[in-house]
A and B are shown apart, each in its own frame.
Chain A
Amino acid sequence: MSAFDWVAQILGILVALLAAPLFLGWVNQCRAWLQNKSAPPLLQPYRGIRKLFYKDAVIASNASQLFRLAPYVVFGTMVMAAAIIPSVATRLPFTKAADAIALVGLFATARVFVSLAAMDVGTAFGTLGARREMMIGFLAEPALLMVIFVASLISATTALPAISELLATQSLALYPSLAFTAVAFIMVLLAENARIPIDNPATHLELTMIHEAMLLEYSARHLALMEWAAALKLFNYVCIGLALFLPWGLATQQEPFALTVALLLLGAKLVLAGAGIALIETVSAKLRVFRAPEFLATAFMFAVLGLLVRLMLGA
C-alpha cells in the first residue's frame, strides 16, 4: 500500500461525507421541479445539519445510554460502508475489509441500532417505526443478496472492487442477467432508503411513515448525525448500484489523472441517478405498508430471473 492509496481512500471517504447531503439536496430539487413546486436550495440539507448541530439536545428522561450512542454507531457504520464501496477508485486499503455480503451485514447493523434506539424511549411511534423498518429490512435483504449473487456468479467473487473492475474492463457487452438485477436493485434501494413507494421522506403523517417515526425523539446533534447517516446510506446504495451496473470510469490505476476522471464521472453519474430517483418517486404512489412485501417480492423475482438467465443461458 502506497501513500497514494491512502490519499485515494481518504478522498473517497471525504467525497462520500460531503457529497451525500448534496446528493439528497439534488434529489429533492429534481423532485420539486418535476412536481411543479419551487425547489429548496441545493445546499438545504447542509443548512439543516448545521442548524441542528448548534441546537441544544433534548433527551427524554427515560432514555438510556443506547439512545445517545446509537447515532454515533449508525454514522460510524455508514462511514465504514462508504470506505468500502468503490465509488472513485477500486484498489483501496479498506476495501479488503469486507465484500458485498459483509456490506449487507453492515447495513443490517445500522438498521438494528436505529430500531433499538427507536424503541428505547418507549413511545408508540418509535416502536411502530422500528417494527416496520425491521420488516422492510428482512424483506429487502434476500432480494439484495440475489442481486449480489448474480454479479458474483458472473465474476466468481463477492468482492465489490473485483466485480466492478471485471465488469468495467470487459467490452461494452451488457449482461441481460444484470439488466434484470438492476431493476431489482433499484427497487431494493428505494425500499431501504425510505423512498416513495415504501415510505415518504417528505411527510410526517404518522400512519404512513417508517424512517421518520424512528427519529421522532431525536433532536439537535443526534438528529443531525442520524440525518447525515441517512443521506450517506442513500449515497452508499447509489454507489453500490453504480459499482455493479455502471462501473465504467472507476480508477483502477492509482494515478492522479485516473482519479480526477473518476471523480468527474462519479459526479455525472450521481446527477443522473438523482434525477432518476426523483422521477421514480414522482410517477409512483406510496404503497400501504402491507403492500410492501409484494413490492419487495417483485424485486426478489426480478433478481431470481436474472439469476436463472445467468445460470441457464450463461448471459
Chain B
Amino acid sequence: MIQALSSPLTLCLLLLTAWGIIGLAGLIRPSSVAFAGRTLFPLGAVCGAALACVAAMSLATPGEQTVLPIGLPDLPVHLRLDGLSSAFLLLLGAAAAGISVFAAGYFRRGEGTAPGLLCLQYHLFLASMGFVLLADDAYGFMLAWETMALSSYFLVTTQHRIPEIRSAGFLYLLIAHVGAIAILLSFGVMQGGSWRFTFDAMRSAQLQPGWAAIAFLLALFGFGAKAGIVPMHVWLPEAHPAAPSPVSALMSGVMLKTALYGLLRVTFDLLGEPVWWWGLVPLALGLFTALYGVIFAAAQTDMKRLLAYSSIENIGIIVAGVGLAIVFAGSGMPTAASLALIAVLYHALNHAFMKSLLFLGTGAVLHATGERNLGRLGGLIHRMPWVAWLTLIGALAIAGLPPLNGFVSEWLLLQSFLFADELPRPFVNMLLPLGAALLVLAAALAGYVMVKFFGVIFLGQPREATLRSAHDAGVVERIGLAWLALGCALLGLLPMQIIPLLSRVIQPLGFSGLVLDEGSWWLLVPLPERQVSYAPLLFLAVILAVVLLTIAAVRFFYHQRVRVGAPWDCGFGRLNSRMQDTAEGFGQPIRHLFNPFFAMIRELPSPFDAAPRYRVVIGDRIWRGLYLPLGALVRRVASAVAWLQQGRIATYLIYSFVTLVTLLALML
C-alpha cells in the first residue's frame, strides 16, 4: 500500500485531485475573497510546488502506467507517467506555484465572476492540464483537453459583463474547438484500423506513410490552433488581454505548452519514426510565426496584447525547433536532432517562467494604475520598484540576453541549426542557415519589443498625473513574482544541471540524447567534439566583479559627489512627459520597415486643422484576409441551409420520412 502510494504517478494523481478538491472548496463560501485568496490559492500553490518536486524526481524514471475505472463503461481512463509527461508536469507545477501565490493577492471583489467560482475554474483548469499530460488514451486525453478549454474559457470571460470580453472568449472557444476536431481526427487516423484508442495501440499500429503524414498534419493543425501558430493565432491577442492577469499567465505560460506536449507526443511517440520532410512544415510555419508575432508585438500599444504577440513569437521559435528536430531525426543525425529537441523543451520551460512573470507584472501594473494602454503609463519604477526590477529580469530573459535563461535555449537552437552543412538534403541545407538568420532576427526584435515594453511602462516620466499615486504590489504578489524571477535566473545560470535531465527525457522518444562533458559543473559543453562551450556563471561572476571593482575604483580614486538637477535635455528646459516617445512612436520604425505585414489605417492631421488629430490603427492582414471571408462564407452557407427550417411540422415529418427511406434503400 505504501509502495503504491509513493509511486510518482499516484502522487501526481493525488496532487491533481487535491487541486480539484481545492477548487470545489471554493464553492463553500463562493463570495468570500479572503477565503479563496488567503486559504485556497496558497494551498493550490503548495500543491503546484509539490507536483513540481514529484515530476522532477520522476524525470529519469521509466514509464509507469495505470488504469482508472472511471468514465463510461468499458472505457476506463489509461494514465501514464514518463519522462516527457514529467518534464511538462514540472513546468506546470513550478509555474502554477508562482502564479497561484500571486493570484492569492491579486483577485479582488467586484471583478465579474464570484471569487469562489473563479477558484473552482482556476483549479479545474490546473488539474485538467495535469490530466492532459498524464492521459494515455485518446478518450482521456480529449476529456481533459476539453475540460481545459472550457474551464479556461470561463476564466477568460471572468468580466463577462463587457461585450468585448465575451466576444474574445467566443473566438477563443471557437478556435479551440476547431483544433480539438483536428486532434480527434488525428487520433482517429492513428488507431490504424484497430479501433482501439489507447496510446499503446497507436504506438503499435502500422500506418501507411500517407496516413501517417495526414495524422501528423492534423495534429500540427489541431495543436497549432491551441498553441497559436499563424494563421490560427488570432485568439491570443484577444483572449489574453481579456483574461485576468494570473489567467493570462497560466494560459500563455502553461496551456500553450500542453499543445506543444501534444505535438511532441504524437510526432515522436505515437507515430513512431517521423519522416524528415514533415519537419519542413513546422519549421517554415514556426519561423514565420516567430517573425509575425514579434513584428506585431513591436507595434502594439496595449501591454497585454504586446505580450500575447510575444507568446506567438516564442511558440514560433519552439515549433521551428520541433521541425528542425524532425528534419534531423529523419535524416539520421541523432546528435543534431537531440540538440534541437532539448532546445525546444528548454525554451518551453523558459517561456513558462518568463512569460508568466511578465503577465503577472502587467497584472500588478494594471491593479496599481487601472491602465493597460502603454500610452498612459510611464515612470513606474519609482512607484513600484519591486514589480519593476522583477519584471526587468523577465524582460531581459525573454529578450534572449545572457546570462539569463532565454539565451540558453536560443543558443542551443542556433547550435543545432549549425549542423545544416551535414544534412544530406540538397537545397534544404542551404535554406537552413537562412532560417537561423530569421530566428536571430526574431530574437533581436524581441529585444526591441522588451525595451519598448519595459521602457515605456517603467522608465521615463509618468504620462498621466494619476500614476503618481500608484502603489507597489503587496507582499504575497511579490513572492509570486520573485519565485518566477528566481526560476528565470536558475534556468539561465545552471543549464548544465538541467540539460542532462532533458537529455534523458528524450531518450525514450527514440533520440540518442547528448553526451555532455560532465567534467565541470559550471561549464556547459553540449557538443564536446565541436569545442563549443558556454558558462553563464562565469559570465555573471566576471561582469559582477568588474562592476563592483569599477564602483570601488571610482570611489577610491575619485570622489562620489553627485548633484541632482533637472533633466538637461540639451538645455531645452521645458520638458514635459508628453515629449517622450509614445508606444506608437516606438513602433514607428517597425511599421515603416515591415509595412507589408500590417493592414494600417492612418489619420494624419493637416496643418490647417483646428484640433489636430493623429490616429493609427494596426490591423492583422490575416484576420481581414482569412477570417472575415471565412466567417462570411459560413454565414452564407448557414443561411442557405436555413432554408430547410420551414417551421412547419409537416415539412419535418417529410424530412424524417425521406431519411428513413434513404437509409433503408442503402441497407437493403
Contacts and interface: CB of A to CB of B under 8 A. Distances in A.
A125 to B, nearest CB: 7
B447 A138 contact: yes
Contact of A138 (B448, B566, B592): B448
A159 B402 contact: no
Interface stretch (B176-184, B209-217, B528-536): B528-536
Contacts of A311: 420-421, 429-430, 433
Nearest to B546: A76
Interface string A51-67: 00110111111111010
B665 interface: no
B430 A108 contact: no
Given A123-B580, A127-B460, A134-B448, A145 B437 contact: yes
Contact of B568 (A60, A111, A119): A60
A47 interface: no
Contact of A64 (B436, B459, B534): B459
A97 B534 contact: yes
A137 B581 contact: no
Contacts of A219: 568
Interface stretch (B53-61, B308-316, B393-401): B393-401
B657 interface: no
Interface residues of A, number: 78
Interface in B575-630: 575, 577, 579-581, 585-586, 588-589, 592-593
A235 interface: no
Contacts of A188: none
Which bucket holds chain B's interface residue count? 35 or more
A66 B380 CA distance: 12
A119 B451 contact: yes
A186 interface: no
A62 B381 CA distance: 10
Contacts of B544: 76
B260 interface: no
Interface in A104-162: 105-106, 108-109, 111-112, 115-116, 119-125, 127-128, 130-132, 134-135, 137-138, 141-142, 145-146, 149, 152-153, 156-159, 162
A122 B461 contact: yes
A101 B410 CA distance: 10
B538 interface: yes
Interface in B437-458: 437-438, 440-441, 443-445, 447-448, 450-452, 454-456
Contacts of B569: 121, 123-125, 216-217
A23 interface: no
A157 B527 CA distance: 9
A14 to B, nearest CB: 13
A305 B396 CA distance: 33
A257 interface: no
Given A127-B581, A304-B434, A54 B558 contact: yes
Contact of A108 (B382, B400, B564): B400
B306 to A, nearest CB: 15
Given A96-B523, A157-B530, A112 B589 contact: no
A255 interface: no
Contacts of A162: 531
Contacts of B451: 112, 115-116, 119, 130, 134
Contacts of A108: 399-401, 444, 447
A216 B593 contact: no
Contacts of B65: none
B441 A158 contact: no
A62 B561 CA distance: 18
A202 to B, nearest CB: 17
A26 interface: no
A73 B539 CA distance: 12
Contacts of A241: none
A128 B579 CA distance: 10
A206 B569 CA distance: 11
B174 interface: no
Interface stretch (A77-85, A245-253, A259-267, A273-281): A77-85
Nearest to A121: B567
Contacts of A290: 592
B516 interface: no
A79 B455 CA distance: 26
A62 B461 contact: yes
B418 A98 contact: no
B539 A98 contact: yes
B121 to A, nearest CB: 38
A5 interface: no
A162 B508 CA distance: 34
Given A53-B554, A138-B441, A105 B401 contact: yes
Given A66-B459, A153-B421, A307 B448 contact: no
Given A112-B401, A127-B580, A307-B433, A217 B568 contact: yes
Interface of A is mostly: helix
Interface string B127-142: 0000000000000000
Contact of B402 (A75, A94, A109): A109
A176 interface: no
A99 B586 CA distance: 32
A80 B566 contact: no
Given A98-B534, A120-B459, A62 B589 contact: no
B446 to A, nearest CB: 9
A238 to B, nearest CB: 21
A72 interface: yes
Given A60-B565, A116-B451, A80 B543 contact: yes
Given A105-B400, A157-B531, A56 B563 contact: yes
Nearest to B561: A56
Interface in B59-115: none
Contacts of A15: none
Contacts of B382: 62, 64
B436 A97 contact: no
A122 B570 contact: no
Nearest to A53: B558
A159 B532 contact: yes
Nearest to B445: A138
Nearest to B563: A58
B561 A57 contact: yes
A142 B585 CA distance: 24
A287 to B, nearest CB: 14
A157 B532 contact: yes
Interface centre among A97, A308, A311 (most CB of B within 10 A): A97
A127 B378 CA distance: 12
A31 interface: no
Contact of A132 (B532, B551, B575, B589): B589
A149 B431 CA distance: 13
A221 interface: yes
Interface of A: 53-54, 56-64, 66, 72-73, 75-77, 79-80, 83, 94, 96-99, 101-102, 105-106, 108-109, 111-112, 115-116, 119-125, 127-128, 130-132, 134-135, 137-138, 141-142, 145-146, 149, 152-153, 156-159, 162, 206, 216-217, 219, 221, 225, 290, 293, 300, 304, 307-308, 310-312
24 contacts: A56-B561, A56-B562, A57-B562, A58-B562, A60-B564, A60-B567, A66-B381, A76-B546, A79-B546, A83-B542, A97-B542, A105-B401, A108-B447, A112-B450, A122-B461, A127-B586, A131-B452, A152-B418, A153-B420, A158-B418, A158-B530, A159-B530, A206-B570, A312-B430
Given A63-B567, A123-B567, 10 more contacts: A54-B559, A57-B562, A98-B402, A120-B381, A122-B460, A141-B440, A149-B418, A149-B433, A156-B530, A217-B567
